[in-house]
Structure 1
Amino acid sequence: MTVNARHRRPRARKSTKLALGAAAAGTMVLVPSVANAEPQPTIDQVSAQLNTLYQQEAHADEAYNAAQAAQATLQQQVDGINGQISAEQANMNQTKTRLGGLAAEQYRNGGIDPTLQLMLQANPSTMLTMSATVGRVTANNADTLALLDQQKADLATKAREAAGKMALLDQQVKAAESTKKQFDGDVAKTQALLNSLQAQQRAALLAAQQKQQAAALAAAQAASQAASQHSTSGSSGSSSGSSGSSGSSGSSGSSGSGGSKVAIPSVSGRAAAAVAFAQAQIGKPYIFGATGPGGYDCSGLTQAAWKAAGVAIPRTATAQMQGLPAIPASSAQPGDLVFFYGDSSYVDHVGMYIGNGMVIHAPHPGSSVEIVAVSTMPLVSYARP
């Protein structure tokens, strides 16, 4: 009667499925085939197409992670039901053993009805004793059998329900994987076109990306320094950290996108362990659905970083946003989580804030963990584990 719990993957909730369908339907094909003779799109067009596909890929990744989390929860429920079924089966076996003993006793007595046996007893006191015993045994066994029958029926219903849910979740995960393959194909096509560009064009695209990232980081740091100076001048002799930092004056250099050097405010406590872990992952590849140690997706990185600090947080970006206390941007400190691309009900991306308007994140397929300015992506909210 044990439910087969070998399923390994589930599907995201209904709303996620609909969102995936919308994303798939909205996939644009702006990039022509490399093999044809049509004019190549401009560098800006290629970059825009990549950004669109990467966001869609992030949506598929988030849906896949949600499906896996749902499957893990349901697997625990199924395991619990299987344990209950095993316990009830053991109880039923014990009851059958007791009933078998009574049957054997009746067989040894020639199958005589207990009531008739009582009537044949010569000693009245013995007859009364046997009458009470038989009554109790009969009543107890009847109640036990009725209870176990009901429990067996209830558990069987639960087992069927759990098995049905496992089958549904398995179908949903397969759909999420299918969507992932579709987006992987789209990204591969666009990447192939990028690779087909002339060396000079590729260099121009890379230079433009690095320039944009460096400008964003410089602007974030300048704004943070200005806020810090304003705060220092407003408090007699006190020294405060930059807006969104831990209030510590120490900082260290770290490479961000394109090799730019950025100053990271120091931080203490569990947040320090989380930030240190995230920093140590810089340069590791983005891997769809991964939680390390060889690579990460966005929420896999933030979850692993806080796990290293001894704090358990949800698996997906949306669950992290909804399950952790929200904080205003003005109160953000290193170690806080920053959510992008979405709204208050659903997000596709998350990174770890490290102060000075910067975030460590795992961007998208084909990239690696890096430091970028918060301003380079559409911000939704902040939360603190």
Structure 2
Amino acid sequence: MASHRKSRAPGPRTAGLRTPAIATAALTSVALLSQTADASPSPDGKPSLEEVERKVGDLYRQAGSATEKYNAAQEKTTKQRKKVDALLDDVAQSTQKLNDAREELGAYASAQYRTGAAAPDVATFLLADSPEQYLDRAQLMDRLTSRQQGAVDDFVTRQAETMDKRREAAEHLQTLTDSQRDLKTAKATVQKKLATARELLSTLTAEEKARLAEIERRKQEEAAREAAELARRQAAEPAPTPTPAPAPTASPTAPPAPDTGSTGQTPAPDSSYDAKAAKALAFARTQIGKPYVWGATGPGSYDCSGLTQAAWRAAGVSLPRTTYDQVGAGTTVPLSQARPGDLVFFYDDLGHVGLYIGNGMMIHAPKPGTYVREESVFYDGESSIHSVVRPA
């Protein structure tokens, strides 16, 4: 998707929600770059407020992107583990059947030994390096009874099945090991980014945090004005009419370009979508106040994509786990034609997503140290909005 990012404006925080002081500092700091002209380090070598703002903002966005990679690795690991468990069960069952077939052949071999047969065919078969080796050398099947032939056939079949299942299980175990390594790497990346952000925030004095809080208040007001302007534009936007889907012209592997303008094809209003969206939004509203926890999918805490997935699941719609996949799970629409229930994606790397509720507002799980809340879609500036997707 093409980039249309501009310089960022910082994001608002809904009044009345519980937000720790350290999170407030992080949120308010995004405005500092435009508020202070002198960005040089202080005489004591301490980073300037602008430097802290810029680094903390980048670290939180990077942590959000790393969280989505962690979510993808976790989902892959979970699926792979289930596959491996199922394969190991199959191997155990195949091994048991192979052992049963071997015991049956062993009974024939014992009978041949007791009768003093000159050519203990079954016994020689069991001692051969492989069934095929003996069959080729002694033409075993021509010398056994039909019942014995059936036992040999069963043994050969079970042996081949067991070997195939063991080989498949070994391959999936290796894939699981790779997935677990990716999961560990993604987890470490998130933890490192957050630890660095906390360390930077710890350098702020009480006075600096107070200054950030005041800047944040003003930025909330600006974001609210932008949301009201979007609501005005949406109210003036004519209702879309059904149009045939155009033939694809781009490469199937190329991502769609972001669309935040007021032009383009948009699905006609659909009452069934509105009913589903209402259920998704009702669920999301009941989650307001619950903490953001990276990698969480509820019910006590959420990350951004975990919240949107859970909300639409409550409406009977299955969304993928990560923002990277959710962005392709519907129809892209212009921001000016966004409807309640649509998914709003942010940043070029799709590091964040929220659930649009109308009037330029959304419900989302912002980042560590914050809580699920209602907020303007312009919380981090208009240029941070990547695209809007209608999932059902």
**Structures share fold, TM-score greater than 0.5:** yes
- Please state how far the C-alpha of 1:318 moved relative to its aligned partner: 0.9
> Which shifted more, 78-87 or 221-230?
221-230
Q: Secondary structure, in 3 states, of the residue corresponding to 1:289? A: coil
Task: Indicate the percent of aligned positions where both proteins have the same amino acid.
Answer: 34
- Please state how far the C-alpha of 1:92 moved relative to its aligned partner: 0.9
Hey, which bits of structure 1, 4+ residues long, moved more than 6 A? 30-34
Contact kept? 2:41, 2:47, Cα under 8 Å: no
How far apart in 2 are the matches of 1:274 and 1:133?
71
Query: Superposition RMSD on alpha carbons, in Å?
Result: 3.3
Q: Output aligned runs, 1:211-226, within 5 Å.
A: 211-226=218-233
Q: Distance in 1 between matches of 2:167 and 2:343?
A: 42
What is aligned with 1:137?
147
Name the counterpart of 1:320: 326
In the other structure, the counterpart of 1:367 is 370
Q: 1:206 aligns with which of 209, 213, 216?
A: 213
Secondary structure of the corresponding residue to residue 354 of structure 1: strand
The answer to whether the aligner puts 1:175 opposite 2:185 as a matched pair is yes
Alignment match, 2:8: none
* C-alpha separation in 1, matches of 2:102 and 2:203: 72
| 1:153 corresponds to | 163
Structure 2 vs 1, CA of residues 114 and 63 (structure 1 numbering), >3 Å: closer, same or farther?
closer
The answer to whether the 8 Å contact 1:326/1:381 transfers is: no
- The equivalent residue for 2:130 is none
Q: Which amino acid aligns with 1:222?
A: E
1:113-132 Cα shifts (integer Å, max 9, x gaps): 489xxxxxxxxxxxxxxx99
Of 82-91 and 370-379, deviating more is 370-379
The gaps in structure 2 that reach 5 residues or longer are 1-32, 34-38, 122-140, 240-261
What one-letter code is carried by the residue in structure 2 that aligns with 1:155? Answer: K
TM-fit CA distance, 1:57: 1.0
Say which of 353, 357, 362 aligns to 2:360.
357
Shift of 1:40: 5.1
1:368 aligned partner, one-letter code = Y
Name the CA distance, whole Å, in 2 between partners of 1:210 and 1:184. Answer: 24
Structure-2 change in CA distance of 1:104 and 1:59 (3 Å)? same
Name 1:187's counterpart in structure 2.
197
Aligned to 2:344, what secondary structure does the other structure show?
Answer: strand
Work out the CA distance in 2 between the residues paired with 1:78 and 1:168: 13
Aligned residues: 304
Kindly state the Cα deviation for residue 223 of structure 1 after the two structures are TM-superposed: 3.0
CA distance in 2: counterparts of 1:106 and 1:179, whole angstroms: 67
For 1:168 and 1:306, the matched residues in 2 are separated by 31
Match of 1:41 in 2: 48
What SS does the corresponding residue of 2:174 show, helix, strand or coil? helix
Q: Which residue of 2 aligns with 1:332?
A: 338
CA drift at 1:316 = 1.3
- Aligned pairs (5 A) from 1:277-356: 277-322=283-328, 324-329=329-334, 330-342=336-348, 346-356=349-359
Q: Which has the higher contact order (CA 8 A, sep 6+)?
A: 2
One-letter amino acid matched to 2:340:
P
**What is the distance in 2 between the residues matched to 1:348 and 1:39?**
30
1:162 counterpart (172, 175, 196): 172
